[in-house]
Structure 1
């Protein structure tokens, strides 16, 4: 009996020791998780699951670890188990939907997002569910961005590439050449430093390329932005003082933006900025085209949630003022970061709150005529993927630039990607009245390809303007039509057009439609050889014109053009044609036509022959007669 009791006591003791062991593991895992050491935390949570200890909780935590490590494959795998748990918090439906989106299971993602909403979850207005056709529209959009090779990525995290004056500045956790390696607990990689290399380099970059001066520290440094004159740098860095991290009330070390100046080719005089705080993060500096505004991301109070994009004015003395949140069009309840401003003042940024292809996506902004941001647009593939895409920058040429991504196929956790952009090409122009040169609103514009297939059509605006997107390296025909006018068209080509050009001009002129029956009476009149007097047959025709202008079209305005045949000297024929124009003009005026209704009476000599009867040609007299004429051009009908 005593032996039996002893055995039971031993078993109970062993179970107790095992339980306390598992409790200790969970406590350790939670501590690692709360310290953002997600790699190590995931290892312990997997052990807890294998030992079937508090399995549901450990599975939720493990799924969250992978989500925070931006690993949607593993995150979705464990969230799939989580959402089957009894009484699971409904936010895991949302997390599962996000992870499914990260592995391109968009239909399943929409299903779980709907379950989240049906269970009472609130989805912000900019959520990825707002447009069920979004994925199709992004992947089907005309590709503008094309990827180029980058030679200096490593197996570590590389991002934040920024090019200026032939140099590329970037942020990396590569640790080559470092004797003592300090690892960041979140992802078990070395801390970030700032590097610089030639923009056209085709070799890897080691520790010798770290930026010179006081920028790099023992903690995270970067990314950076530099003013146009190359003398001032703004950069992100962990908040620390006297080589010791400064923590907020939650025990976390936040990020700050610092400013440094270039002195004797060394970055020094590092300055803490007034927009920083120990209690929240401020990072990802960006400058506008004239360096008068500093954009950044921050989770400071007053934002919409997560981190927001903010902007502050930079005074000539360097002081910062007029802090503003970029507003609801840009910022969501989720995370926005990595702002960048191109030469045209367009804001680019990364977000996982706007409609995207995966996790973080890169977006551009759209402004109205008042320079107000009214919408954002996803840059589409290949800039964006089903993983994190961020730190977008564009070079001064507006065509090339960089971004970073942790998508499959890279060398490390985050890799730098170079791109060149082929901007959308447009055909544009103004449709005008050929007579009075006024723009024609509401004219129908039809675009055809080189096989005669209709590609697009639209109507001109109130200024007679039109604009249609076209492909490069193709031939086109564009036609303008309007009920009161004769159609006009132009053939044009988009072949061999420089990449920087974004528009092909194709203005179109429409002549008013005449009343064919009435204007058939505006016959050409003819003259005898070497004469300019009005013949009897010509007088009959001119009387018809007088009647037409007096009774049928009292507002009609015409132009007179007179000609000769080719015989005789060129200068003589010029004078003779002018005499014929004058005779015609005088006859009409003598019959009561207001001179203001004849805009011009001009002679063209032998310059506009109607046939091949040029000097030296053998022509019958009847053929020469056809060239000795006066014609009437209608300028205005009514």
Structure 2
């Protein structure tokens, strides 16, 4: 009887749990379906039920962390990520996700711990590299001279508002406020009403009540970020895949974003809606921004072949025709999200990114262009434009004095809020340093800037084109000095920033006279010598250059002394490359000795490995063989002539 009772008890315990386990399995299936359909708010409730019942708890925690991350809620995401990263055999991506959530909470030191753990897994990620390389970023970003001054606007709602642009005192923006709709339809991602486009009129500091755009732009689904043509008669806008009153989906049932174009009719209604030809049902294309000349359209997309989750692209526009989209490359795009491009009338591009070095989640960046319009540098706009939360949809008026951003930072009225700003452009002193004889630019010339009392406030060097630029205060004077070891100093010059209203810079150029016979090698046009990958033998083209050096030392300047410095590209370990560069220095030295040069006149011959790259071809960079070749070199320095 005792055994029978035990069997009955075990049977009750085991089989009694079957309905409960089945129910929990059903909950997980439901939660996953909600998650996969981007219904994150509803999915959270179901995953929390699983966690309360201790059913597949580790999995539930991972999904809860991901849900809150997708909802841009780092505070709640961090709570679950903190448990997830302790799980066994967890995907290393969670280390990075946790680190980014901590950055959004301004816990920068703690964030670095998990970034380091992510890097230790062996993953190659430019986002991590940027954070690890710039330890002083947070300190520096707080010290950036303030150029933007934020202010609230009176037309935010308790829901999501963003994407404000202004043309002819009319402000257009996207909002979930859904006023005037009898039956409110909500978006499953965040349980808010679908976005629609609104307009209002500005009159000084007063604003009219927002009204929906007239015409055929707004539908039952999302409409978002817009851009107008210069004449204001063509509108590019973002919308879910919805054409001819039919909702389009990809193979997974997702209605991705597309860009559409509308024209303004005589009744001031937006009609003639057409989708752009490079849209695709299988990925999103959105956030259009049209250049001032109407010939280039910038946009964001997660189309295949990009660098990360979402990249910035551009496409040529010729009337009704469009070219092939071009990715802006890895100076702009990262493994993360690059979104909301905005091209100003002066050609500068602004965009949001969570992959470039920022204060937290999405930050707003701008590009620095050279004279040919090529992107040279990316700059974080700093505070108050950026915060530790999402900052996006940057807009700046043509005069560069006012604009809008959107953010979900603390202190707002709703979810995403629109903020206005006034901009006081920084003033810069810039110029070019050239050789007085041949008028060629002088690289690495030192520029020293002193205030009106003679105190040094800054020093910098010129770039490869002999150019320099530095931001300074307005309405004062500065003294500038230019120098270079191979040139005679020129008398100091005055940089006057007084009466600078309406201006953004003053030019101060220098011409320096060369010191005689300082750079003999440059005078006879001797180039660096180069090596094949993983080799240190002297190639034929290198022997030609080395013969020139030997002839100079043996015939023309019999007392000349030199140094040799040899280098490698970034491929291979640091230790291996150091050894390889030493072998290259030795072979360069030995070749000159074989030509009859006295060893005592080669004062040094050293290898520097990959520490002095001449370009951005670091580990993990996508570089051509020609670019890597530039780093595999021996260079010469003249120490004395007699």
- For residue 66 of structure 2, what is the aligned residue in structure 1? 64
CA distance, structure 2, for counterparts of residue 509 and residue 372 of structure 1: 27
Alpha carbons of 1:428 and 1:46: their partners in 2 closer, same or farther (altered >3 Å)? same
Alpha carbons of 1:34 and 1:464: their partners in 2 closer, same or farther (altered >3 Å)? closer
Alpha carbons of 1:255 and 1:23: their partners in 2 closer, same or farther (altered >3 Å)? same
Q: State the secondary structure of the residue aligned to 1:340.
A: strand
Q: How does 1:203-602 map to 2 (within 5 A)?
A: 209-264=211-266, 265-316=268-319, 318-428=320-430, 446-457=448-459, 467-472=469-474, 475-478=476-479, 480=481, 487=491, 490=494, 492=496, 494=498, 497-498=500-501, 500-504=502-506
Task: Give TM-score, length-normalised by structure 1.
Answer: 0.72
User: 1:478-532 CA distances to partner (integer Å, 9 max, x unpaired)?
Assistant: 25588978955658564x742x42124678999xxxxxxxxxxxxxxxxxxxxxx
Alpha carbons of 1:14 and 1:326: their partners in 2 closer, same or farther (altered >3 Å)? same
User: 1:171-224 CA distances to partner (integer Å, 9 max, x unpaired)?
Assistant: 111123322110001001000000111134767876x60110000000001211
- For residue 623 of structure 2, what is the aligned residue in structure 1? none
1:371, distance to aligned residue in structure 2 (A) = 2.1
Question: 2:490, 2:511 within 8 Å by CA — same for their partners in 1?
Answer: no
Alpha carbons of 1:313 and 1:44: their partners in 2 closer, same or farther (altered >3 Å)? same
Aligned pair partner of 2:175 in 172, 177, 180: 172
Q: Are 2:33 and 1:31 aligned? A: yes
- For residue 625 of structure 2, what is the aligned residue in structure 1? none
CA distance, structure 2, for counterparts of residue 460 and residue 91 of structure 1: 41
1:405, distance to aligned residue in structure 2 (A) = 1.0
- For residue 156 of structure 2, what is the aligned residue in structure 1? 153
1:415, distance to aligned residue in structure 2 (A) = 0.8
1:261, distance to aligned residue in structure 2 (A) = 0.5
Q: State the secondary structure of the residue aligned to 1:92.
A: helix
CA distance, structure 2, for counterparts of residue 72 and residue 304 of structure 1: 24
Any unmatched runs of 5+ in structure 2? 513-642
CA distance, structure 2, for counterparts of residue 47 and residue 461 of structure 1: 60
Question: 1:152, 1:203 within 8 Å by CA — same for their partners in 2?
Answer: no
Q: State the secondary structure of the residue aligned to 1:45.
A: helix
Task: Give TM-score, length-normalised by structure 2.
Answer: 0.72
For the aligned residues, what is the CA RMSD? 3.3
Any unmatched runs of 5+ in structure 1? 511-638
Once structures 1 and 2 are overlaid, which stretch shifts more, 383-392 or 119-128?
A: 119-128
Q: State the secondary structure of the residue aligned to 1:110.
A: helix
Question: 1:160, 1:222 within 8 Å by CA — same for their partners in 2?
Answer: yes
- For residue 135 of structure 2, what is the aligned residue in structure 1? 132
1:368, distance to aligned residue in structure 2 (A) = 2.7
Alpha carbons of 1:323 and 1:487: their partners in 2 closer, same or farther (altered >3 Å)? closer
- For residue 532 of structure 1, what is the aligned residue in structure 2? none
CA distance, structure 1, for counterparts of residue 490 and residue 509 of structure 2: 15
User: 1:460-486 CA distances to partner (integer Å, 9 max, x unpaired)?
Assistant: 89999865421235x444255889789
> How many residues matched?
504
- For residue 17 of structure 1, what is the aligned residue in structure 2? 19
Question: 1:39, 1:187 within 8 Å by CA — same for their partners in 2?
Answer: yes
CA distance, structure 2, for counterparts of residue 89 and residue 297 of structure 1: 28
User: 1:314-346 CA distances to partner (integer Å, 9 max, x unpaired)?
Assistant: 113x11123212122222222211111111111
CA distance, structure 2, for counterparts of residue 131 and residue 427 of structure 1: 26
